[in-house]
Structure 1
Amino acid sequence: MGGVPETLPEPPARQPDLDDDFAGPRLREDLWIDHYLPHWTTPDRSGARYDFDDRGLRLRIDEDQLDWRPEDAPLRVSNVQTGNHQGTHRHRPDGLVVRTASPTRLLWAPSAGRVDVTVTASPDAGCMLAAWTVGTEHHDPRDSGEICLFEIDAGAAVARCGIKAHHDDRLTTDMSEVPVPSGRHTWTAIWGPAGTVIGCEGVVVKRSAQAPLYPQFLLIDLWEIGPRSGPYPKTAHLHHVRGWDLTP
């Protein structure tokens, strides 16, 4: 028999620094940029497709949506992120180059913190919904580590979560597969000097002694990976995000 599930700690007893229930009718420009890593591509490819309904923000992949970069095809993405820096997330070894000048914007980028993300994943074949924080790199290119709250493939019974080192040699990649609830559910990441905790629906699903202790952007994205197929649009919902900056 398994042990008693470990519950997450209560959130800080103060108002969050980042709080959005996506009531619409427009995306809050003080919190979000609706382009995925725009410096590595062009605006017509990085721009998100989305709308609002009674459930919140509906991220979409449309049939006419371009691949994020021609070199990555077939790969389309609709994303919102809490800032940008020209150079953030140098995640490919195939000659990433800056194609669109992109000013540094630090809308929410704590070096330690807590974030709660409430979503409904996509049921559409070929899609993945993900939420993650990643080092801004605006101080040091080594500051590139990632906390992956979740990567959920459409129809999957498990999600991937954990730490990705990328170019930070102070970290070691440590990912796990954990059960994923159906329907609407909330994921949490808490990180600081004591390490990183990831939870789902109030229960701890991953612990690590590691934490990227430098400014982190939050990104939430819907991907379609592979050739176009099936009906469009393909969708996922983002219902609520709360975040606390706990930088010492």
Structure 2
Amino acid sequence: MRHQKRWGVTFDELPAPPSCAPDLADDFTGPALREDLWIDHYLPHWSTPERSRARYDLDGDGLRLRIDADQPDWRPEDAPLRVSNVQTGDFCGAAGADRGTHRHRPDGLTVRTPGTTRLLWTPSAGRVDVTVTATADPGAMLAVWLVGSEHRDPRDSGEICVFEIDAEAVGGDATTARIGIKAHHDDRLRTDMTEVSVPAGAGRPHTWTAIWGPGGTVIGCEGRVAGRFAQAPDYPLILMIDIFETGGRSADAAYPKTARVHRVRGWDLT
């Protein structure tokens, strides 16, 4: 493969997408969010509908995720933390249970809003390409994750962090992002996260890619490999795309804080 060096990092070319048509394909050009692909709540079982519901627009240029001035915190216990998220599946146990997708906190998450298991797009191996414009609004973060559904086994909780981009890390020509693997409750994995600088300046759409399967995980940006990891979750994963505000409300902040998702393509290679 050819190599390209930018900002002191060597990028290999990513493999071409599979020749078959993607089984997840959305340009967000419809009049409403597609219910066959997306749940417009952030981990709704751990919270309540008015707190987990995403704020967003479909305006002809993709999905604009928003944090609004009047948006409530995701959970009172986690304040300040406000989220607008879309995800391709969800699972939880009964009210009061500690079973559910993405038990990302160690301090006793329990189900507050029981729901039915919905697995809309949850490959155990595959590829996903997500084209976004990251937020540059202070105190916000754009992230894309693939997280274990946990509907078969609570150990199936590992995560592929395709990227996490803090607004403060978005520069004019380059952006710093966190990528890698998070084990969470899966003792078959180990957490392996790193920071990379990628050619994605402020206000510029750019495409992130994750490819995972028995050979491990590759994460890339703009057609180039940003990181290789010798491990991958081998169970159904839910795609999550979200904007966070973690710094709390500020009287002089401009709202809404926004990030944009232009396109998603996914191939289930299970």
Q: 1:73 to 1:194 in 2, by over 3 A?
A: same
Unmatched 5+ stretches in structure 1: none
1:177-236 deviation line (CA, Å, top 9, x unaligned): 011311110000000000000000000011011000000000000001122120111100
Q: Secondary structure at the match of 1:236?
A: strand
Q: Secondary structure at the match of 1:71?
A: helix
Q: 1:94 matched to which residue of 2?
A: 107
User: TM-score, with normalisation over the residues of structure 1?
Assistant: 0.97
Unmatched 5+ stretches in structure 2: 93-99, 170-174
Q: Aligned partner of 1:234: which letter?
A: K
Q: 1:145 matched to which residue of 2?
A: 158
Of residues 16, 25, 29 in structure 2, which corresponds to 1:19? 25
Q: Aligned partner of 1:199: which letter?
A: G
Q: In 2, distance between residues paired with 1:244 and 1:81? A: 16
Asked if structure 1 preserves the Cα contact closer than 8 Å seen for 2:28 and 2:60, the reply is: no
Q: 1:218 matched to which residue of 2?
A: 239
Asked if structure 1 preserves the Cα contact closer than 8 Å seen for 2:139 and 2:247, the reply is: yes
Q: In 2, distance between residues paired with 1:114 and 1:4? A: 22
Asked if structure 2 preserves the Cα contact closer than 8 Å seen for 1:136 and 1:216, the reply is: yes
Asked if structure 2 preserves the Cα contact closer than 8 Å seen for 1:36 and 1:81, the reply is: yes
Asked if structure 1 preserves the Cα contact closer than 8 Å seen for 2:88 and 2:120, the reply is: yes
1:121-176 deviation line (CA, Å, top 9, x unaligned): 11100000000100000010000000000000003031000000000000000001
Q: In 1, distance between residues paired with 2:130 and 2:62? A: 12
Q: 1:209 matched to which residue of 2?
A: 230
Q: 1:54 matched to which residue of 2?
A: 60
Asked if structure 2 preserves the Cα contact closer than 8 Å seen for 1:61 and 1:235, the reply is: yes
Matches within 5 A, 1:74-223: 74-86=80-92, 87-156=100-169, 157-180=175-198, 181-182=200-201, 183-223=204-244
Question: Is 1:235 paired with 2:258?
Answer: yes
Q: In 2, distance between residues paired with 1:101 and 1:209? A: 36
Q: In 2, distance between residues paired with 1:172 and 1:155? A: 28
Q: In 1, distance between residues paired with 2:233 and 2:239? A: 13
Q: 1:4 to 1:207 in 2, by over 3 A?
A: closer
Q: Which runs of 4+ in 1 moved over 2 A?
A: 1-5
Question: Is 1:246 paired with 2:266?
Answer: no
Q: In 1, distance between residues paired with 2:148 and 2:39? A: 16
User: TM-score, with normalisation over the residues of structure 2?
Assistant: 0.90
Q: In 2, distance between residues paired with 1:3 and 1:173? A: 22
Asked if structure 1 preserves the Cα contact closer than 8 Å seen for 2:139 and 2:168, the reply is: no
RMSD: 1.1
Deviates more, 1:47-56 or 1:14-23: 47-56
The alignment covers a number of residue pairs equal to: 247
Matches within 5 A, 1:64-75: 64-75=70-81
Q: 1:41 to 1:203 in 2, by over 3 A?
A: same
Q: Percent identity?
A: 73
